[in-house]
Amino acid sequence: MDLVFAEATPSGRGGVSVIRLSGPGSRRAAERLAGDLPQPRHAYFRTLRDGREELDQALVLWFEAGSSFTGEEVAELHLHGAPVVARRVGSALAALGARPAEAGEFTRRAFLNGRMDLAEVEGLGDLLEAETDAQRRLALRAAGGELGRKADGWREMLIRAGALVEASVDFADEEVPDEVPDEVFDLLRRLTTDLEQEISGFRAAERLRTGFEVAVIGAPNAGKSSLINRIARREVALVSDIAGTTRDVIELRLDLRGLAVTLLDTAGLRATEDHVEGLGVRRARERAEAADLRLHISPEGHVDSALWRDGDILVRSKSDLIAQGDGLAVSALSGEGIEGLLAELHDRLALCVAGAGIVSHERQAAALRDARDALAGVSDLPPELVAEMIRQAAASLDRLVGRIGAEEYLDVIFTSFCIGK
Ligand SMILES: Nc1nc2c(ncn2[C@@H]2O[C@H](COP(=O)(O)OP(=O)(O)OP(=O)(O)O)[C@@H](O)[C@H]2O)c(=O)[nH]1
Ligand SMILES: [K+]
Ligand SMILES: [Mg+2]
């Protein structure tokens, strides 16, 4: 591995900007600018110099290979947060033979050096993208290695089962067929149950990670856009008394008490001669069908039954005008019922994620399913077949944590990383 560097803090003006170096020679490069840095993990306050030229006054520290984020020798330069300083220090480092790092390259090195497994890398990526508390918590658990620890436990069960199968084979006696001990099947059944449980929490965790889509639908002039604006506390969408005002789907991202929710304002549903409005209505239906939940908006409490699904919410809008009817009464004008509606929406979505596990990526779920499937129908088979099933399941768990087959995923994962991470 060569020596790479990048600004670890966002580029731009700020209090401090940190340049991180990783790879063999990190310490020496830092010392060329800062002078002697005798001890690892000690912060030295130094004047950085490029030849005779003073570059900045900085806090400098380094970490030995094996005890850094990347697993390589790492140095950090904490500079004054001016872009020109970071640029100038960067060019001095380049002159010393360091190369600017690519997006996610530090994390990639951490993975390649065994400091993180693939599920942790995915968790770290999720953490960088998290917007709400629920997303942050899930990502932090994943980045902290929870899935890898579970996988280790499962592997141990497989190793033990494999050893018992081996021991059951009597090579000396060809006459009597070998029998796999019951303990093996007990172990594999327990493992299968664990895997099933983890798999069953996948969809909920995925929802938690990616967030929910909630479509706001109803007849023209029902007050959909007004409601969205009220919730957003700003003019997200055009409002008018002309039916058919909204055409395109307008998205409003919300942090609903920790849950990530995208509200979709949609065109009023009706048959129309207007070509463009018709396109909007079609799109409204499509997005409404694909959404996790729908708010059906109607001053009279009517719903489009073709789009009604279990768990949807009927909202009786313009409650300041019409005093009674079915549905949750809400007025975008007075604000009545808005908090209650958001609370109800939160509670329903929270129900959907109640069983969330730690597995939140399709890749991870697929590896777990493969492991489970490898063990399906394991009872009453000869030892050679049982041993082969155990090997297959172990390979799937290896894939889960990226011990094998990680290459094809790394590039995809690191596209969401920034330079310096
Ligand atoms: N009194 C009262 N008027 C409302 C309320 N909500 C919306 N309106 C009025 O109803 C009309 C239609 O509101 P919009 O928010 O544009 O309705 P929409 O459902 O988005 O309409 P389209 O986009 O055309 O489908 C406007 O004149 C709003 O001012 C409300 O809570 N109370
Ligand atoms: K309207
Ligand atoms: Mg509208």
For residue 402 the two structure tokens come to: 């990226």
Residue 239 maps to a domain: yes
Tell me the pTM: 0.86
Q: Could you tell me the CATH number of the domain that includes residue 45?
A: 3.30.1360.120
Distance separating alpha carbons of residues 232 and 226, to the nearest angstrom: 10
Helix (H, G, I), strand (E, B) or coil at 116: coil
Residue 106 maps to a domain: no
Calculate how far, in angstroms, residue 225's C-alpha sits from the geometric centre of ligand 1: 7
Neighbouring C-alpha atoms within 13 Å toward the C-beta of 78: 11
Calculate how far, in angstroms, residue 284's C-alpha sits from the geometric centre of ligand 2: 15
Mean pLDDT to the nearest integer, 12-36: 96
Whether residue 301 is found in the same domain as residue 368: no
Q: What amino acid is encoded at 369 in this protein?
A: R
Residue 420 maps to a domain: no
For residue 367 the two structure tokens come to: 């590896």
Integer-rounded Cα Rg, in Å, for the chain is: 29
Residue 43 maps to a domain: yes
Is 76 labelled as part of a ligand binding site?
yes
Whether residue 188 is found in the same domain as residue 302: no
Which of 337, 352, 367 terminates a domain? The answer is 352
CA distances from residue 320 to 299, 323, 324 in whole angstroms, order as listed? 10, 7, 10
Task: Give residue 416's pLDDT.
Answer: 79
For residue 373 the two structure tokens come to: 């499937």
- Domain range for residue 322? 209-352
Per-residue pLDDT at 260 exceeds 80: yes
Percent of the chain with pLDDT over 70: 98
Write out pLDDT tens, residues 355-395.
999 999 999 999 999 999 999 988 878 899 999 999 999 99
Write out pLDDT tens, residues 184-202.
999 999 999 999 999 999 9
Task: Give residue 59's pLDDT.
Answer: 98
Helix (H, G, I), strand (E, B) or coil at 17: strand
Residue 233 maps to a domain: yes
Which of 319, 335, 352 terminates a domain? The answer is 352
Q: Could you tell me the CATH number of the domain that includes residue 378?
A: 1.20.120.430
Whether residue 309 is found in the same domain as residue 214: yes
Whether residue 183 is found in the same domain as residue 216: no
Mean pLDDT to the nearest integer, 242-252: 97
Per-residue pLDDT at 172 exceeds 70: no
For the chain, the straight-line distance linking the first and the last C-alpha, in angstroms and rounded, comes to 17
Whether residue 261 is found in the same domain as residue 232: yes
Whether residue 171 is found in the same domain as residue 57: no
Per-residue pLDDT at 263 exceeds 80: yes
Per-residue pLDDT at 305 exceeds 80: yes
Whether residue 215 is found in the same domain as residue 315: yes
Per-residue pLDDT at 279 exceeds 80: yes
Calculate how far, in angstroms, residue 317's C-alpha sits from the geometric centre of ligand 2: 13
- Ligand 1 cavity residues, CB under 6 Å: 220-226, 239-241, 243-246, 267-268, 317-318, 320-321, 331-333
Calculate how far, in angstroms, residue 254's C-alpha sits from the geometric centre of ligand 2: 23
Whether residue 47 is found in the same domain as residue 142: no
Specify whether the CB–CB gap between 66 and 113 falls below 8 A: no
Pocket of ligand 1, candidates 216, 239, 318, 319: which has the most ligand atoms within 8 Å of its Cβ, to mutate?
239
Structure confidence at residue 167 as a pLDDT band (50, 70, 90): confident
Distance separating alpha carbons of residues 22 and 129, to the nearest angstrom: 24
Which of 101, 132, 167 terminates a domain? The answer is 101
Write out pLDDT tens, residues 38-87.
999 999 999 999 999 999 999 999 999 999 999 999 999 999 999 999 99
Atom of ligand 1 nearest to the CA of 239: 16
Whether residue 252 is found in the same domain as residue 143: no
Residue 110 maps to a domain: no
Residue 192 maps to a domain: yes
Whether residue 73 is found in the same domain as residue 127: no
Helix (H, G, I), strand (E, B) or coil at 329: strand
| Global ipTM | 0.99
Residue 108 maps to a domain: no
Write out pLDDT tens, residues 104-134.
999 999 999 999 999 999 999 999 999 999 9
Mean pLDDT to the nearest integer, 242-261: 96
Per-residue pLDDT at 417 exceeds 90: no
What residue's CA is closest to ligand 1, atom 8? 223
Q: How many domains does the chain have?
A: 3
Whether residue 335 is found in the same domain as residue 373: no
Percent of the chain with pLDDT over 90: 87
Q: Classify residue 339 as exposed, middle or buried by CB count within 10 Å of its CB (0-12, 13-18, 19+).
A: exposed
Residue 417 vs residue 392, higher pLDDT: 392
What residue's CA is closest to ligand 1, atom 14? 223
Whether residue 148 is found in the same domain as residue 234: no
Task: Give residue 413's pLDDT.
Answer: 87
